[in-house]
Amino acid sequence: MSALRFSTSAASLRFPSRFDPFLFSDDRHLRLQSGDQWHHVVALHKERDLILGHFAFVMQNGIALSPARASFGVFQFDPGLSTADLVAFVQHIESFCLELGARAIRLVCAPDLYQSRAAVRNTIFLNCGYRIADAATSCLISTEVPFEEGLDTWERRKLRQAVQAGIDVRRVMGPEEEEVYRFIATCRAERDQALSMNWEQLRTAADIFRQEFLFFAATLDETMVAASVAIRINTDVLYNFYSAHPRSQDALSPVVLLMRELHSHATQQKMRWLDLGTSSLNGMPNAALLDFKLRLGGTPSMKLTFEKSLTSA
């Protein structure tokens, strides 16, 4: 017999969760993504007001889509949930989406290492008729091992060079946050890459989540040579959302020292992972970037996008 009951009311989200919710499922972040257009399926304990699972989506052109505008969508559940209950949760999601007239579901999942039972989740989606529409590789560095121990010989050398050059890395706040963003945008433009958020959008999010959006700058002789915008996803994960350095600093590679600082921050906050992000270019793996993250000691983690047509279900 199922231990769940289901709700599609946003009011049920006021109940506590038996898992650590990701930032992108916070109602304030959802509103930044797509206003009040969200629908929810909440799996609740059968006898208590306790959230055991949460799926949030918006309807776009007949597709139940999650996220609207974020690195990944909202599908999270209690690791202690039985496999049968997880299947029931997925089936209830599909039934509700059909009631709303959805023709398909598209969900971008968090990297597998974010959730202890991601492999079970992935298997259930595939067995329920979902297909993998996109596959990316994230790289996460554990905080259980000192940063330097995870580096390969080449990156350890780059770290020593940056330290010997006198590069200083610090967290910045206030007006300097915009300087970090503009610096990163300029570096990305130098490589014909664009950022997913403009400054106004990022500033709005950072103003709402003052403890979750962190800005770091690496400087040499008071000149910025690398920078990062990191996001505290939950108590376990610090996510390197944006980072960059100019081509003129390729030889010094100051990002290695910058990542050491992020890793140190995550360690001090007793977080489990520093997520270096995915490595894709035009929908294909960016081999050079992925190899760089692996040399930093990153553990590869699948980040999958699942799709299912409901019209033939």
Q: What is the pLDDT of residues 246-273, one digit of tens each?
A: 999 999 999 999 999 999 999 999 999 9
Cα gap 285→225, rounded to integer Å: 26
Q: What is the pLDDT of residue 313?
A: 47
Q: What is the pLDDT of residues 60-93, one digit of tens each?
A: 999 999 999 999 999 999 999 999 999 999 999 9
Q: Is 137 helix (H, G, I), strand (E, B) or coil?
A: strand
Q: Within 13 Å, how many C-alpha atoms sit on residue 116's CB side?
A: 8
Domains recognised in the chain with CATH numbers? 4-135+304-309 (3.40.630.30), 145-271 (3.40.630.30)
For 107-133, the DSSP string reads: EEPPPGGGSTTHHHHHHHHHHTT-EEE
What is the pLDDT at residue 284?
81
> What's the rounded Cα separation, in Å, for the pair 218 and 225?
6
Q: Residue 99 and residue 192: Cα distance in Å, rounded?
A: 43
Structure tokens at 311: 């019209």
Inter-residue contact 147 to 297 (CB < 8 Å): yes
